[in-house]
Amino acid sequence: MTGAPDSEIVLTPLDEPALRRLLEAAVADADPLEVMPPVDGPPGWTPERREAFLAFHRRRSLDPDTAIETTWVVEVDGRAAGAARLQPVHGNAALAVEAGVWLCRSLRGRGIGKRVTEVLLEAARDGGAARFIASTTVANTAARRLLSGTGADLDVRGEGVDASLEL
């Protein structure tokens, strides 16, 4: 890895083999709380959390009966390095899509999140979305800067931050 400008970044649609590679990457180089909803039990990647991670993505993306979002594995120089997602949200906006991204810790802060966000914005536009939204926390400086860098309006509500960008 020579740094983001030289790195090949590819978003691969999630499928079972990609999900396995994503779990391996998460276990090796991310905290469960950064990449999935909380699961009771001792900290770290317990067998229960690994199963919950797989179940979470199968339910939300892979099972046609329950899928609510599109997920991609972020591949950096051919290796799974995180995930990106777009979830259509049917609210007041004609069609809003909610975005999310996480990257392996050792790859953060190199501009990869920015490049992934550009791809998500393009996918959202191509899909006909009128608004791009995302949520983070006040404490998450990298995510706030990533989102403000897109030109989105950021609305602080207590510890939470809601970003919204007209496409």
Ligand X SMILES: CC(C)(COP(=O)(O)OP(=O)(O)OC[C@H]1O[C@@H](n2cnc3c(N)ncnc32)[C@H](O)[C@@H]1OP(=O)(O)O)[C@@H](O)C(=O)NCCC(=O)NCCS
**Which residues of the shown chain bind ligand X in the complex (CB under 6 A)?**
34, 100-103, 108-114, 134, 136, 140-143, 145-146, 149
The alpha carbon of 9 is separated from its chain's Cα centroid by a whole number of angstroms, namely 14
Our CB check for ligand X shows the closer of 22 and 134 to be 134
Shortest approach of ligand X to residue 29 CB, angstroms? 10
Our CB check for ligand X shows the closer of 1 and 16 to be 1
Our CB check for ligand X shows the closer of 38 and 64 to be 38
Task: Please state, as a whole number, how many other Cβ atoms lie within 10 Å of the Cβ of residue 106.
Answer: 12
Shortest approach of ligand X to residue 51 CB, angstroms? 21
Asked if 22 contacts 83 with a C-beta cutoff of 8 angstroms, the reply is yes
Alpha-carbon distance of 32 to 35, in angstroms, equals: 5
Shortest approach of ligand X to residue 118 CB, angstroms? 10
In DSSP terms, 156 is beta-bridged to: 161
